[in-house]
Amino acid sequence: MEEILEILEENARISLEDLAKLTGRNKKEIERVIKGFERKGVIVKYKTVINKDKVKGEKGVVAIIEVKVIPQKDVGFDLVAERIYRFPEVKSCYLLSGTYDLLLVVEGKDIHTVANFVSEKLAPLSSVKGTITHFMLKKYKEDGVILVKEDKMRRLAITY
């Protein structure tokens, strides 16, 4: 992957000046390259990783849902996946190899909201053969960022 993309993936807030210094290019060239990446859809979005456990107020729930689907003739999984990822509750959708075909990350206000999504919107789709829902209990690491505070003074357990 190009050096500029690697740096931006690690720190999307880096200034053009700092990016130019790190890559040995001038600021105008960096700006032109980034605009090109955005125009071509290589850079899709700039994102902030938020540790929601540290935010006061209602947090909601996150579910990981494995979905077994029937691929459609001549289009495979794409049309089925599109129908599913267009639901606003679906935050991410991936095609997998293995037992299940799609992996969804779904967010809802509470467990009942996610359960209603599965039972009323997802499961009734004719191409959906089955689902398994896992509720996320705790995030330790997201997008390469460790979210839990590391205890530097942790003592090792004594074993015999």
Q: Identify whether residues 134 and 67 lie together within a single domain.
A: yes
Q: Identify whether residues 84 and 130 lie together within a single domain.
A: yes
What number of other Cβ atoms are within 10 A of residue 54's Cβ? 8
Is residue 143, in this structure, part of any structural domain at all? no
Is residue 147, in this structure, part of any structural domain at all? no
- pLDDT band at residue 160, thresholds of 50, 70 and 90? confident
Query: What is the count of structural domains for the chain?
Result: 2
The yes-or-no verdict on residue 26 having pLDDT over 90 is: yes
Angle (CA) 64 70 75, round 5°? 105
Is residue 76, in this structure, part of any structural domain at all? yes
The CATH number for 112's domain is 3.30.70.920
pLDDT digits 0-9 by tens, 47-67:
888 888 788 876 799 999 999
Is residue 96, in this structure, part of any structural domain at all? yes
Question: Half-sphere exposure of 125 toward its Cβ, with a 13 Å CA cutoff?
Answer: 24
Q: Could you tell me the residue range of the domain that residue 112 belongs to?
A: 59-138
136 near 85, Cβ under 8 Å?
A: no
User: Hunting for tokens 């799609």 — which residue is that?
Assistant: 102
Q: Identify whether residues 30 and 72 lie together within a single domain.
A: no
pLDDT digits 0-9 by tens, 122-142:
999 999 999 999 999 998 998
Q: Identify whether residues 105 and 67 lie together within a single domain.
A: yes
pLDDT of residue 84: 98
Is residue 160, in this structure, part of any structural domain at all? no
Is residue 86, in this structure, part of any structural domain at all? yes
The pTM score is 0.80
Is residue 9, in this structure, part of any structural domain at all? yes
Q: Identify whether residues 97 and 35 lie together within a single domain.
A: no
Is residue 106, in this structure, part of any structural domain at all? yes
